[in-house]
Amino acid sequence: MLQIQENVPLAPLTTFQIGGSAHYFFEAGTDNDIHRAVAWAQERKIPFVVISGGSNILFKDMGFDGLVIRIRTMDYAFDKGVLHVGAGCDLLTIIRLASERRLGGWEKLAGIPGSVGGAIRGNAGAFGSEIKDFITTIEAFNTHTHEMKTFLVSEVAFAYRTSFFKTHPEWIILRGSFVLKVTDVGEGETLIKATIAEREKRHLQSVKAAGSYFMNPVAPDAVRAQFEEEKKTVAREGRVPAGWLIEKAGMKGATEGGAQASEQHPNYIINTDNATAVDVLALAERIKLAVKEKFGVTLQEEAVRM
Ligand SMILES: Cc1cc2nc3c(=O)[nH]c(=O)nc-3n(C[C@H](O)[C@H](O)[C@H](O)COP(=O)(O)OP(=O)(O)OC[C@H]3O[C@@H](n4cnc5c(N)ncnc54)[C@H](O)[C@@H]3O)c2cc1C
């Protein structure tokens, strides 16, 4: 028997701390749990979604009228320099466990909240490193056909904050395999600490938010030139930081109910005071409008609305 719970509050399961309850809720600790939960919903014709770390999600105030499957598969195995890890494993935890075995190279990803599966889906990255740089294969489960497949990294179209899995949500990521390099004694821990210290300076770690709300857009040449001239830097992949556009469009610090475009990092929409999903969405719309009017650029959400 599956231990399906009813009317489970979703806000505490997300870093935004926003959203109503899940009509049905299930924590999946094994691949078999995931298969059975999907079958349970499909047999009853109930909509379902998967979540994991909840660090890139905005649930509606009315919650989710279906089954929320929280992926908690935390198995891992080290096989020489290769790490096989369950999608539900916390990314920082596994980076630390690898470092204890003197395996690393991916320490710049330390401190990105959320799970391995969530990071693969969105090709999470920071400080010039992305999860795609370390991954070799991904095991996934197709909820339409119930097929299991091991994808090669070349098959999943990784690019800036996206992958095949983002555009094909019928696939649930079960596990990733990563090739890590051997590090010197203590090297991994030093790099992890340095990365986290840098994040704490630059990224806003302990706020109720979903990280960057919008993706950095590819901007028209004139906008890119203005950014490069002002910041004395080169726009990576032709992308201009959404936070810079938001600030220039006069929306830094803007509020809507309990939601605010952060003063420190305007691309973070923060739940400052019991914000609702309606507050966040209204503020996001105002930001999009202001940036469009000022620069002719359409911002696209990185955070997932459910
Ligand atoms: C303070 C803060 C800082 C952040 N900094 C960064 C940063 O530096 N770089 C960066 O890239 N991101 C950053 N983020 C965003 C977030 O941490 C990443 O997007 C993270 O990878 C999401 O993982 P998750 O497990 O929390 O996913 P969730 O929020 O649980 O889910 C996000 C999406 O992934 C899907 N998903 C989750 N697990 C699976 C799975 N197993 N199979 C298929 N789909 C799945 C969900 O259905 C949903 O659509 C930050 C967020 C916060 C709150």
pLDDT value at position 205? 80
What would the two tokens of residue 55 be? 């660090």
CATH of domain 205-305: 3.90.78.10
Estimate to the nearest angstrom the gap between the alpha carbon of 47 and the chain centroid: 22
The pairs formed by 286-293 with CB atoms below 8 angstroms and a separation of 24 or more are 286/251, 286/254, 286/256, 287/213, 287/214, 287/246, 287/249, 287/251, 287/254, 287/261, 288/214, 290/246, 290/249, 290/250, 290/251, 291/242, 291/245, 291/246, 291/249, 291/251, 293/249
User: Phi, psi (5° rounding) for residue 88?
Assistant: -85, -5
Residue 10 is given by DSSP the state -
Residues of the chain with CATH 3.90.78.10: 205-305
CA trace torsion 118, 119, 122, 128 (10° rounding): 160
Predicted TM-score of the model (pTM) = 0.96
Q: Where in the chain is the domain with CATH 3.30.43.10?
A: 5-71
Active site residue 212: yes
Please work out whether the CB of residue 124 comes within 6 Å of at least one atom of ligand 1. yes
Whose tokens are 């990365």? That residue is 195
Q: For residue 58, how far is its CA from the centre of ligand 1 (angstroms)?
A: 11
Cα-only R_g, the chain:
20
List where CATH 3.30.465.10 sits in the chain: 76-200
Q: How far apart are the first and last CA of the chain?
A: 27
The tokens describing 292, both together, are 């469009």
Binding site membership of 58 for ligand 1 (Cβ less than 6 Å): no
15 ligand 1 Cβ < 6 A: yes
Q: What integer pLDDT is reported at residue 283 of this predicted model?
A: 98
The yes or no reply on domain 5-71 and CATH 3.30.43.10 is yes
User: Atom 43 (ligand 1): residue with closest C-alpha?
Assistant: 172
Tens-digit pLDDT string for the chain (306 aa): 889 999 999 999 999 999 999 999 999 999 999 999 999 999 999 999 999 999 999 999 999 999 999 999 999 999 988 999 999 999 999 999 999 999 999 999 999 999 999 999 999 999 999 999 999 999 999 999 999 999 999 999 999 999 999 999 999 999 999 999 999 999 999 999 999 999 988 767 889 999 999 999 999 999 999 999 999 999 988 899 999 999 999 999 999 999 999 999 999 999 998 999 999 999 999 999 999 999 999 999 999 999
Are the beta carbons of 269 and 213 closer than 8 angstroms? Answer: yes
Q: Of all protein residues, whose CA lies closest to atom 49 belonging to ligand 1?
A: 304
The verdict on the CB of residue 53 being under 6 Å from ligand 1 is: yes
pLDDT of residue 242: 97
| Annotation: CATH topology of 76-200 | 3.30.465
